[in-house]
């Protein structure tokens, strides 16, 4: 049950610096922001002073106009390292659209964050501004429980949302901000806000965040998008591969360094990252705003990239190889990998039912459709993976390569065995039991190949995505295996390659692989 609104206090007649005749939109917004008070710290009570990068952003968003003087930009993106005063800018811009120079009757202003706590940061900043400015406090009602602010004069409202919200359909935002979207696992709320803008004549969406860890996150796609008159992007990041003590690189990602971002503390953090390699990824991502995974993964992105040299698969014809076959459940991918130990190269095929491509793009938020068009995915007819397509690929493999064995997980394998038998296809199939004992040597062999740059994968984009998803479990004895349950997303192609490496280990060293032996079918 909603709590009753508090009665609005009497409105006061106030003359505002952004109300001068003829002021262009950017100047009006800048005047509004500069009239806000600093609400915390040693300078509390003083007027806000915008730094150069903040003014640059405001001008980039509000200065481009059409012949009628209407703002052209509809979506704006600002990426900057942590601690550069983004919350103050977000809160100030949202107030400019709620009750400042950009307000409109019955406006809807939303502040979206990853969870309620982060959304609360923006809400508390916005409320602090209102409570420090008498004319603002006089015309709004504040509903703390709902993190909602209502402007009684225009009947507009400001509301905090979280990235896991399921009730964002039907919104008609006049203005919205999305905070730290690099941490969002889903883009559902972002998409709902963006599509809801069509219900307004001049809506604006602003996203501010550090960079995401990889190129496939939707925030990376936004930053990498082609320039457009309706889309403004401003990126502040350190150069790739810069030294951790490079002060020019610090400044590139931290335009507030030395202003309200303490330079001495930043130097201490950089020194810690230099001394302790485990701190370096997080420092580069959060403090240098570089696109790098800050969490520990089984496969280091740099090591995987080092194996990306292109090659022509035709050069592998007749070569000795080992395979791994990972048959899919309904949601997973079916993957078939061949590992060529003499050449240090791998080929991986992925099979996806054609009728599910669109659903998978929406669910997993990766471009299966583009990968299929580019030949990295083989589509099969219908909504379930057609085993005959896998059989046909196995038949081709038998003709082209010197197949020593193909490791398989028996789960869902019986119908494939029958198809192979019916077609008269004979291949040395080896059952792979998916436990710590079987995977331990396979994971070790795969890891060695990657580190030795003997896992050339032809720069496959789908494998690059999966390589960044893999999480490894370890048992008390130190044996390791990949876990689909804990991995960030699909890893089927990597799993099949690990199985292939494990099978190869039976021929290239001690008998460390534990399987059921060869079975000709």
Which residue in 464, 473, 491 sits closest to 302, CA to CA?
A: 464
Q: Are residues 255 and 396 in the same domain?
A: no
Residues 10-60 pLDDT 10s: 545 668 999 999 899 999 999 999 999 998 776 788 899 999 999 999 999
**Claim to verify: residue 282 and residue 322 sit in the same structural domain:** no
Count Cβ atoms below 10 Å from residue 224 Cβ, excluding itself.
Answer: 11
The pair phi, psi for residue 371, each rounded to 5°, is: -65, -40
* pLDDT exceeds cutoff 80 at 374: yes
- Whole-number Å distance between alpha carbons of 263 and 268: 9
- Classify residue 342 by its DSSP letter: T
What does the alpha-carbon distance between residue 290 and residue 210 come to, in Å, rounded to a whole number?
8
Q: What is the pLDDT of residue 35?
A: 96
Look at residue 18 and tell me if it is in a domain. no
Structure tokens at 345: 């190269």
Q: Report the chain's mean pLDDT, rounded to a whole number.
A: 87
- Whether 451 is covered by a domain: the verdict is yes
Total of domains in the chain: 3
301 confidence band (pLDDT: 50, 70, 90): confident
Q: Note whether residue 3 is domain-resident.
A: no
Domain containing 448 — which CATH number?
3.30.420.240
**Domain annotation covers residue 9:** no
The most confident of the ranges 70-84, 163-177, 272-286, 468-482 is: 70-84
The answer to whether residues 337 and 348 touch, using CB atoms and an 8 Å cutoff, is: yes
Mark whether 211 and 330 lie in a shared domain.
no
Q: Is 88 inside any structural domain?
A: yes
Beta strand ranges found along 27-138 (DSSP E)? 75-79, 108-113
Bridging pattern class, strands 472-474 and 428-432: unpaired
pLDDT at residue 295 in the model: 59
pLDDT at 383 over 50: yes
The reported pLDDT for the residue numbered 125 is 93
Q: Is residue 140 part of a domain?
A: yes
Q: Domain of residue 276: give its range.
A: 247-295
| 290 and 317 assigned to the same domain | no
**Residue 116, pLDDT score:** 82
Dist. CA 411–CA 347, nearest whole Å: 23
Q: Is residue 13 in a domain? A: no
CATH no. for residue 105?
A: 3.40.50.300
Say whether both 326 and 259 belong to one domain.
Answer: no
Q: What is the pLDDT of residue 446?
A: 94
């Amino acid at each position: 049950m909603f709590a009753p609104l508090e009665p609005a206090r009497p409105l006061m007649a106030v003359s505002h610096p952004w109300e001068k005749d003829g002021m262009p939109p950017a100047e009006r917004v800048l005047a509004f922001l500069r009239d806000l008070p600093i609400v915390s710290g040693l300078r509390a009570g003083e007027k806000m002073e915008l730094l150069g990068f903040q003014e640059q952003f405001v001008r980039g968003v509000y200065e481009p106009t059409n012949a009628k003087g209407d703002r052209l930009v509809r979506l704006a993106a600002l990426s900057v390292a942590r601690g550069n005063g983004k919350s103050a800018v977000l809160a100030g811009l949202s107030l400019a659209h709620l009750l400042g120079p950009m307000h409109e009757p019955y406006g809807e202003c939303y502040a979206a964050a990853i969870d309620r706590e982060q959304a609360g940061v923006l809400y508390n900043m916005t409320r602090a501004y209102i409570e420090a400015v008498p004319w603002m406090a006089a015309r709004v009602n504040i509903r703390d429980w709902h993190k909602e602010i209502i402007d009684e004069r225009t009947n507009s409202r400001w509301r905090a949302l979280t990235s896991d919200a399921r009730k964002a359909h039907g919104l008609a935002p006049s203005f919205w901000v999305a905070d730290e979207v690099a941490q969002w696992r889903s883009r559902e709320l972002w998409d709902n806000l963006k599509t809801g803008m069509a219900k307004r004549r001049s809506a604006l969406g602003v996203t501010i965040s550090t960079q995401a860890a990889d190129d496939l996150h939707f925030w990376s796609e936004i930053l990498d998008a082609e320039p457009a008159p309706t889309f403004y992007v401003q990126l502040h990041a350190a150069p790739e591969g810069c030294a951790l003590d490079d002060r020019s690189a610090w400044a590139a990602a931290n335009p507030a360094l030395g202003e309200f971002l303490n330079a001495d503390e930043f130097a201490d953090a950089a020194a810690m990252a230099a001394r302790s390699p485990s701190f370096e990824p997080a420092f580069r991502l959060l403090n240098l705003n570089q696109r790098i995974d800050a969490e520990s993964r089984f496969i280091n992105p740099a090591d995987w990239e080092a194996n990306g040299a292109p090659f022509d698969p035709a050069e592998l014809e007749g070569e000795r190889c080992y395979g791994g076959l990972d048959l899919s459940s309904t949601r997973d991918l079916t993957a078939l990998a061949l590992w060529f130990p003499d050449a240090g190269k791998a080929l991986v095929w992925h099979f996806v039912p054609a009728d599910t491509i669109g659903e998978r793009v929406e669910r997993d938020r990766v471009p299966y459709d583009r990968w299929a068009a580019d030949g990295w995915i083989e589509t099969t007819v219908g909504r379930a993976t057609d085993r005959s397509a896998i059989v046909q690929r196995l038949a081709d493999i038998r003709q082209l390569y010197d197949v020593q064995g193909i490791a398989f997980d028996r789960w869902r394998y019986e119908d494939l065995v029958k198809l192979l038998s019916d077609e008269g296809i004979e291949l040395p199939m080896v059952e792979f039991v998916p436990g710590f004992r079987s995977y331990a040597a396979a994971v070790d062999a795969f890891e060695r190949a990657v580190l030795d740059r003997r896992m050339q994968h032809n720069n496959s984009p789908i494998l690059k995505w999966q390589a960044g998803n893999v999480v490894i479990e370890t048992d008390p004895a130190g044996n390791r295996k990949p876990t689909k349950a804990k991995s960030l997303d699909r890893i089927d192609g990597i799993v099949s390659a690990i199985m292939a490496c494990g099978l190869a280990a039976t021929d290239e060293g001690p008998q460390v692989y534990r399987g059921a032996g060869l079975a000709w079918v």
